[in-house]
Structure 1
Amino acid sequence: MVNRKVALVIPTYNAGDVFYNLLLEISLQTVQASCKLLIDSSSTDTTVKIAKDFGWKIEIIGKSSFSHGGTRQYALELLPADIDVVIFMTQDVRLLNGKCFESLISAFDDCEVGAAYGRQIGHDGASIYAVTDRNFNYPPVSIIKSMESIGTYGIKTAFLSNSFAAYRMNDLRRVGGFPVVDICEDIYTSGKMLLSGRKIAYVAHAVVKHSHELDLLNLWKRYRAMGCFYRENQWLQDSFGTANKEGWKLLKYQMSMCISRRKFAKIFKFLFIDLVKYVAFRCVL
């Protein structure tokens, strides 16, 4: 493997005592970051203490100043100038094995790849709704996406998740880093990289556990925020297409999952959840 200088960044807020488990898993990775940076939004629990015990560099910001894009961009400005690759993770991820980082950054062996993201599977005990969402968005087969992939993947050509992603620093700087937005900063930056001629790698063998069980109110807020983001960044749909086709594909996948598992009663809840997502997303476009 090419010797690269790697940085690791995790934004945190009240990650809880279980945060210890993630930092332990990170300390056992075959690839170790030379810079481990925590951007903490003024946690009131043990998050900062745990990170200090593991020797992390810690930067504390005000809770109200956090944004998904702006905080990550701030982190980039704090990294040493000689970093080749930066890995971003969220505090609720769990690493499946000791080679997650090694597998993820191996994507940069292809000199045209500007960013890479790993596979996410549901946490232990995750509901069928969370598991189905993860299985649909993170299949077991790796792919390399470029502008030529739009005919196959449409808007998902630009899909990427900062819950577990890595960026080549030169390429990230070239597109201006992350925008100051509250959602979809990863897709924004991925889209900019693709338009600049770089490729995005999905690395299916770099696996983490990560899923959410959102209630209807938070689901509504999330998809309304996504609708606002796409309205304000029309260039993404102009360049890669709308989300309509992917929405129908997801619905078909959900139905097939329910039928194959004989969870027929779940079909109605899936339909209701999808309706909430659709209305929340569309009402602001």
Structure 2
Amino acid sequence: MLASIVIRTLNEARHLDDLLVMIARQKTDFDVETVLIDSGSTDGTVEIAKKRGARVTYIDKAEFSFGRSLNRGCEFSDGDMLVLISGHCVPADENWLQNLCQPLIDGKASYSYGRQIGDDNSNYSERRIFAKYYPTDSQIPQKEFFCNNANSAILRSVWQEYPFDEELTGLEDMELSKRIWLKGHKIAYVAEAPVFHHHEESWAQVRRRFEREAMALRDIMPEVHVTPVDVMRWVVSSTWKDWRAASRHGIKSTSKWEMLRYRWNQYLGSYKGNHDHRRMSQELKQYYFYPEVTEKADKDEWLKPLYRTSPHEGQQSES
């Protein structure tokens, strides 16, 4: 069996080499290939990928959408399993790939996704978002259709029958997971397949990311609606909870002001992308937007001070 690791990139040189080194260190009982789908990098991303032995294909910026890019990358690959990972994610250990693919191999799921964590270079508010959506306990299979392509795997046969939507502005993973879930396929969450997910974004980029995802969510779940009152309530509540958790864990890497700005841009973007749509049920609104993190998640060891070491540190650079 062959697993194709498909990496979607645009100027990902900062973390790509660490990602490729960790891919090379994975311990699996199946074969692995790595392919890159690049949309116009100018920072040496493609050169890094080729140096590490990845096959590279391209998509023009004018054609780009998240779903179309992944479909092109999957078409270019040869694997029976398609492993999707962002160019700014780095596996946390050498068992990531085997663990992520195991539910597919065992026939327990058609689509799986792994844990995402941040380190002290991440905004602490985002680390708490990761703790909410990517808990310490696996669900194989899970009861819902949530999935995230920053760290996921899907059977090629399933993707061929149900390719990613190429028109959505984001959340192509959630749309596909809902589509196949309604057809009886299983989705698995694998906590034992963690990656460090690095976002180095301006506040405008944070806001646009959440706006783009909220626009896509309107099409996937048209009952979702966010009001100005929701925005203010969630900003205040989530920021206060961030401050309290940061104090409890001794976090110094993100200031209170930075946490407030993150939450403001998160919910402002969500409102802008969503505000003109119909009302949603209160239950769904709470699930997808309310900033509550479970008591167990708030005690997560990964929310304490943490720095991801490069696989290059402490040893000679690998060729």
Q: Same fold (TM over 0.5)?
A: yes
The aligned counterpart of 2:291 is none
Assess if the C-alpha contact under 8 Å between 1:136 and 1:250 holds in 2.
no
SS at match of 1:11: strand
Q: In the alignment, which residue of structure 1 is the partner of 2:95? A: 99
Number of residue pairs the alignment of both structures matches: 264
For 1:1-285, what aligned pairs fall within 5 Å after superposition?
Answer: 4-16=1-13, 18-31=15-28, 33-80=31-78, 83-145=79-141, 149=143, 157-174=144-161, 176-180=162-166, 181-231=168-218, 233=219, 236-237=220-221, 242=224, 255-262=240-247, 269=261, 272-273=264-265, 275-285=267-277
- Structure 2's unaligned 5+ residue stretches are 249-254, 278-319
- Of all paired residues, the percent bearing the same amino acid is 24
RMSD: 2.9
Structure-1 separation of matches of 2:54 and 2:63: 21
Query: Matched residues in 1 for 2:234 and 2:108: separation?
Result: 29
Partners of 1:216 and 1:204 in 2: CA distance: 29
- TM norm structure 1: 0.81
Residues 214 and 270, structure 2, Cα contact 8 Å, conserved in 1: no
Letter in 2 for 1:8: I
Contact 2:210/2:269 (8 A) holds in 1: yes
What amino acid is the match of 1:15?
E
SS of the residue aligned with 1:182? coil
CA contact (8 A) 2:114 2:193 kept: yes
Paired residues of 2:109 and 2:186 also in contact (CA < 8 A): yes
- Cα deviation, residue 275, structure 1: 4.0
What's the secondary structure of 1:187's corresponding residue? helix
SS at match of 1:144: coil
One-letter amino acid of the counterpart of residue 73, structure 1: N
Q: Distance in 1 between matches of 2:87 and 2:122?
A: 17
Q: Cα deviations across residues 207-252 of structure 1 (Å, max 9, x unaligned)?
A: 1000425443223322332232233x2xx327xx7487xx999986
Question: What displacement does 1:131 show?
Answer: 1.0
Structure 2 length as normaliser, TM-score?
A: 0.73
Distance 1:124 1:195, change over 3 A: same
Residue aligning to 2:312: none
CA shift, 1:278, in A, is 4.0
Distance in 1, Cα, partners of 2:171 & 2:267: 21
CA, structure 1 residues 207+254, in 2 after alignment: closer, same or farther (shift >3 Å)? Answer: farther
